């Protein structure tokens, strides 16, 4: 959510940002906010004037009564009563105007960074750099579900019976590998100075609206029937929510946290063959990174966060590339975003395994995450998040890049302590 002062003082900057995101249907909202804000300020000024007048007249009533001027006192009382009626109407109007302004402000997108490439959708994202040499072996790489089935590691049919499409049973070495990757991701981030955290897996509606846009919420979140609780789609939601309505001392920054959680997503929409199996599912687990920092430090933390993911995958010899998200592919709260994609030898292309985002002060403004500086001045924090690893999607990259010609799967050295010393699966 933007600072209302930006719309008051530089509405054209807001409009141009909307155009860059190819959301021209939102342009009228800028003028609507300006008009509503003007009426709201006039309403508040009139209400403040009436409150002051009421105080003055109330004192007069006491003076008139003391002098025995009851008739004059009654006239003033009538004036005060009329003011009270008008004031009540003004206060109700203030609430209505504030709600209308907020409804629009929650939809107007955040100002993107100047470095973000302008493009309509993810097809116009820009490759930044590749890490590791992508290899296509001289033997056929089966579909990832087939690899798992050969290792007796997955049962999708049973999951469909108990839960429907988009769920799975992982078993044996594949289930152990899944847990090993998460444990390694946890220790990897702890070694980089992040504090490990296990957050709540359900959050209130005001936290949901504080961390994401309404469109994202509708497409992602599962709501608990009859309660003000939602299942989290990522631990970022509850981790940023941890700081709601807080005043942090500047000396407490940065807050660098790494969190484990299951994630639950509706995954609305139809998907292609490559997104079946365990690529796009309703339930998965993830190791996340979250940073709350000073505004001037967020660009530095953005680069450090995505580099962590690159280093994590490269430590397991999985080739990756980084992709700068264009303006049209950015969610409304994001200032800048970069995807990390892993190499798929079977498809001979890269696919997304992590996403790093700088949200500026958008979440902090919605959730009132404030900082008190050394000079006593208060300001909004910046928030960032990034995926360290999210199996089972990461398992696809792992299995394809470590599959051997004889059908075995190599276990990289860094994972062997978490796999009982095993060098191969199968």
Global pTM reads: 0.89
Look at residue 157 and tell me whether its pLDDT is greater than 60: yes
Q: What mean pLDDT do residues 107-118 have?
A: 96
pLDDT per residue over 337-347, tens digit each?
Answer: 999 999 999 99
Distance in angstroms (rounded) separating the CA atoms of residues 6 and 100:
18
Distance in angstroms (rounded) separating the CA atoms of residues 80 and 84:
6
Distance in angstroms (rounded) separating the CA atoms of residues 178 and 419:
10
Q: Tokens 């001027």 identify what position?
A: 69
Which DSSP symbol is given to 2?
Answer: -
Query: Could you name the CATH architecture of 122-425?
Result: 2-Layer Sandwich (3.30)
pLDDT per residue over 20-57, tens digit each?
Answer: 999 999 999 999 999 999 999 999 999 999 888 877 77
- For residue 307 the two structure tokens come to 């580099």
Task: Evaluate whether the domain defined by 4-105 bears CATH number 1.10.287.40.
Answer: yes
pLDDT of the residue at 273: 43
Indicate the helix (H) or strand (E) that contains 129.
strand 126-131
**In the chain, which segments carry CATH 3.30.930.10?**
122-425
Look at residue 278 and tell me whether its pLDDT is greater than 90: no
Indicate the helix (H) or strand (E) that contains 180.
helix 172-191
Q: Quote the mean pLDDT of the chain.
A: 93
Cβ-contact 354, 385 below 8 angstroms: no
**In the chain, which segments carry CATH 1.10.287.40?**
4-105
pLDDT bin (cut points 50, 70, 90) of residue 14 is very high
């Amino acid at each position: 959510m933007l600072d209302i002062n930006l719309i008051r003082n530089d509405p054209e900057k807001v409009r141009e940002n909307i155009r860059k995101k190819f959301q021209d249907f939102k342009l009228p909202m800028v003028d609507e906010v300006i008009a509503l804000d003007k009426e709201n300020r006039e309403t508040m000024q009139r209400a403040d004037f009436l409150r002051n007048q009421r105080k003055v007249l109330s004192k007069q009533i006491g003076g008139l009564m003391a002098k025995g001027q009851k008739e004059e006192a009654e006239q003033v009382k009538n004036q005060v009563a009329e003011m009270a009626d008008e004031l009540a109407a003004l206060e109700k109007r203030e609430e209505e105007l504030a709600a209308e302004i907020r409804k629009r402000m929650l939809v107007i997108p955040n100002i993107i960074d100047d470095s973000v490439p302008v493009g309509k959708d993810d097809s116009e994202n820009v490759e930044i750099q590749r890490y590791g040499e992508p290899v296509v072996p001289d033997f056929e790489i089966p579909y990832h579900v087939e690899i798992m089935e050969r290792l007796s590691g997955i049962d999708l049919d049973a999951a469909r019976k108990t839960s429907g499409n988009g769920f799975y049973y992982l078993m044996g070495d594949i289930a152990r590998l899944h847990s090993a990757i998460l444990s390694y991701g946890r220790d990897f981030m702890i070694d980089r100075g992040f504090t490990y955290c296990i957050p709540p897996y359900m959050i209130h509606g005001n936290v949901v609206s504080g961390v994401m846009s309404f469109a994202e919420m509708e497409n992602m979140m599962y709501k608990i029937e009859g309660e003000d609780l939602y299942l989290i789609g990522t631990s970022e939601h509850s981790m940023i929510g941890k700081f709601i309505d807080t005043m942090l001392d500047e000396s407490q920054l940065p807050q660098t946290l790494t969190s484990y959680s299951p994630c639950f997503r509706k995954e609305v929409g139809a998907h292609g063959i490559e997104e079946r199996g365990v690529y796009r599912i309703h339930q998965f687990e993830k190791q996340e990174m979250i940073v709350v920092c000073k505004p001037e430090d967020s660009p530095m933390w953005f680069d450090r966060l995505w580099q962590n993911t690159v280093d994590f995958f490269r430590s397991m010899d999985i080739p990756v590339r980084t992709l700068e998200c264009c303006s049209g592919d950015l969610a409304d709260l994001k200032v800048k975003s970069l995807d990390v994609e892993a190499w798929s030898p079977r498809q001979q292309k890269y696919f997304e395994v992590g996403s790093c985002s700088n949200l500026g002060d958008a979440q902090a403004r919605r959730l009132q995450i404030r900082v008190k500086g050394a000079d006593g001045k208060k300001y909004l924090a910046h928030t960032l998040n990034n995926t360290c690893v999210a199996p089972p999607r990461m398992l696809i990259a792992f299995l394809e890049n470590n599959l051997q010609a004889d059908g075995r799967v190599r276990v990289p050295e860094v994972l062997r302590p978490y796999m009982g010393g095993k060098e191969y699966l199968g």
